[in-house]
A and B are shown apart, each in its own frame.
Chain A
């Protein structure tokens, strides 16, 4: 297999598929998506798939609002013959410290100013939304009814099918082994199934983004950290919104099927691309969950799994071109919120690659910010 393409996108997760769709929609021909396994096999298919607009920076609020509005109409927009299962049950974000509580009040003000319908709630009011919570463990909460969750496999498939109809080629089970450059420009991508000559490469490789960067001689300041999730047996629906706490370190939701899925962050998790499961996670997660939502202690755990967060120093993505290498673009380092930002990622990356003015300014999220020491901190992350 030797091919030529206008654009090669490395990574068949939600970001890669969304970028491919948006480029194709803007009329770009000969787009190839290269995926080393199957679509959504990496972080996308392993993620919690929560979607929220409750953020602490204006930029994140805007990016996520654009994404939520897309998801609301995605079945029609993408012409999907099945259902991406966008379930807007809301997000209840709980404060565990006074500092967080104060920050949440400011966040709600910011969110409301930007048209995001979030509200601040007392612990008692929060308990009305999730009656099985122990409200004495929290100091306050914020709630946005338009937040929710999606089926990550269906959403990726919806993007991929729409992209295929627009002529995008998907090479699954094809692994990138090298990136060829000449005089500071990208000229081609080597894979285990053959060569693709191309002037433009988009790195949307999730946990493997750093390795892809190395192949092009670019040091991308990201690292892949393991994050784990466990799933319980299904019971009748009893919790509509996602329950999430940053200082309390938990996110937990009941899926449409009835199972609860939950995860937490842990700085001691390995960063060597491992996606094995650990008993430490099982123990800590169960403890946190039973303290905050006591009735759940009667549920059996069915299994657990892991995926990779691609972390940056400021927990914000890296978007855009790379100064040292023409034709090399990054959509990496989503730090655990790449799935929910995918509609924005696809649109803004397509605009960036085509040299158009971007719908939302993302110039501050370039790779250069780490050298310039202009990090963009966001406090609302697990």
Chain B
């Protein structure tokens, strides 16, 4: 879901960026954060609470709330709402608190 035509604002769409989300190939656009690309692609559940297992989604969108922590290129606890999307990124749903390697 993206706004293509807006009565007042003009959106300049960047070039397509391909990335992998939980094994599936996805497409976002230059200028997207990981979270905005996932949201536009209809992904609503970004992770699960480490204790209760409840679904966690896109919430504060400014890097404060830790609701959108995911594993990106093998690194856990990435706040995807403030991480710019890059070509070929591997984004995975994180279980637990993440292991520091």
Contacts and interface: CB of A to CB of B under 8 A. Distances in A.
B31 interface: no
B77 A236 contact: no
Interface string B63-101: 000100000000111000000000000000000111111
Interface stretch (A8-16, A23-31, A292-300): A292-300
B13 to A, nearest CB: 32
A238 B100 contact: yes
B99 A236 contact: yes
A233, A296, A300 interface centre (most CB from chain B within 10 Å): A233
B60 to A, nearest CB: 15
Contacts, number: 27
Contacts of B76: 235
Tell me the interface secondary structure of chain B in the complex.
loop
Nearest to B100: A235
A368 interface: no
A236 B97 contact: yes
Given A233-B77, A235-B76, A299 B100 contact: yes
B96 A295 contact: no
Contact of A295 (B50, B75, B77, B100): B100
B87 to A, nearest CB: 23
> Interface size bucket, B side?
10 to 19
Interface size, A (range) = 10 to 19
A295 B50 CA distance: 22
Contact of A300 (B50, B77, B99): B77
A258 B100 CA distance: 11
Contacts of A235: 76-77, 97-100
Given A298-B75, A300-B77, A234 B97 contact: yes
A233 B99 CA distance: 12
Nearest to A238: B100
A359 B21 CA distance: 64
A296 B77 CA distance: 13
A234 B99 CA distance: 10
Given A235-B76, A300-B77, A295 B101 contact: yes
Given A233-B77, A234-B97, A235-B99, 7 more contacts: A233-B66, A235-B77, A236-B96, A295-B100, A295-B101, A296-B100, A300-B77
Interface of B: 50, 66, 75-77, 96-101
11 contacts: A233-B66, A234-B50, A235-B76, A235-B77, A236-B96, A236-B97, A236-B99, A295-B101, A296-B100, A298-B75, A300-B77
